[in-house]
Amino acid sequence: MRRATEEDVAAVAAQPFWYHTMDLAPGLTTPGWFDLRPVIDHLPWPDVRGKRCLDIGTFDGHLAFEMERRGAAEVVAIDIADHLLWDWPPDARPTGPDDPSLQVAFRDFKKGDAFRVAHGILGSAVEWRPLSIYDLTPAEVGMFDVVTCGTLLLHLRDPVGALEAVRRVCRGHLLSSEQIELWLSVFGFRRPLARLDGSGPYCQWWVANASGHLRMLFAAGFEPERVVRPYVVRFNEHPPPDPTMRTRIDTLARWALTGTRAPGILHRAVLARPRL
């Protein structure tokens, strides 16, 4: 990792929104909403050395760059080309980039901008492509040995259909790291359950519990190979929830499950192979 130049520092500072907190050079870290650095080695990584890899919903590219760092031969990173193309619920579907229903953080930048800044500073060879998970086909992107998909399923109206599209292009492993519902995981242990939202500006649909995440993968034709304990993806610049009795209880429950009191979002990761 080379030293950052003044131009690198200025480019990071000029980018109006960072989703991922990443170390791009000694002393140069992006001010992202979420910090994966404490848990990146906790994920059930397969061996990516010499493999063709795909990162879905890459945003700023943290998982894509991580696979490159681990020795992948080729990494393709895909994401929706524009925030307006997300699976917005009808009651919060923005009509344009200046629609007040669109979160302020998503109004001042274009998808892929932060990725390109990080890409240049890292000297990366990862290829960024504007493509929806639903549109993955071998004809469009080819086949991949390793696929990563992080914190995306809850934002999709049809997560199982999306995973079936992933299966079409996956010939090796899928690493799925996903937000899980805390209390449904505690009280619905071993029962596949999900909370349906489908409303509001956060573009959330199905938030499954730990067993529900596994069942989604199974329903889409994947067989779990390794499952890790739940962990917390920590907030950085993301505004934490207002302190209430409920949030304090949630924090204690997350601590009991994960061993961390850090504010953030409960996740679990699964390494799976295509079954069908």
Q: Is 70 exceeded by the pLDDT of residue 164?
A: yes
What beta strand segments (E) does the chain contain?
23-25, 28-29, 34-35, 52-56, 74-79, 127-130, 144-150, 170-179, 194-196, 206-208, 222-227, 231-235, 264-274
Average pLDDT over residues 183-202: 95
Percent of the residues in the chain that have a pLDDT greater than 70, as a whole number: 98
Query: What is the spatial distance between Cα 235 and Cα 35, in angstroms, rounded to a whole number?
Result: 6
For 177, the enclosing helix (H) or strand (E) is: strand 170-179
Residue 1 lies in a domain: no
Neighbouring residues of 239: CB distance < 8 A, sequence distance ≥ 6: none
Neighbouring residues of 252: CB distance < 8 A, sequence distance ≥ 6: none
Note the pLDDT of residue 104: 59
Give 11-61 pLDDT, tens digit per residue. 999 999 999 999 999 999 999 999 999 999 999 999 999 999 999 999 999
Average pLDDT over residues 214-236: 97
Give 127-154 pLDDT, tens digit per residue. 999 999 999 999 999 999 999 999 999 9
Would you say the pTM of this structure is higher than 0.85? yes
Residue 29 lies in a domain: yes
Residue 113 lies in a domain: yes
Confidence of residue 272 (pLDDT cuts 50, 70, 90): very high
CB 21 within 8 A of CB 11: no
Q: How many domains does the chain have?
A: 1
Residue 85 lies in a domain: yes
Give 62-108 pLDDT, tens digit per residue. 999 999 999 999 999 999 999 889 999 999 888 877 777 676 567 67
- CATH code for the domain in which residue 94 is found: 3.40.50.150
Range of the domain at 237: 6-274
Residue 247 lies in a domain: yes
Note the pLDDT of residue 73: 98
Q: Is 70 exceeded by the pLDDT of residue 162?
A: yes
Mean pLDDT score across all residues of the chain = 95
**For the chain, what is the radius of gyration of the CA atoms?**
18
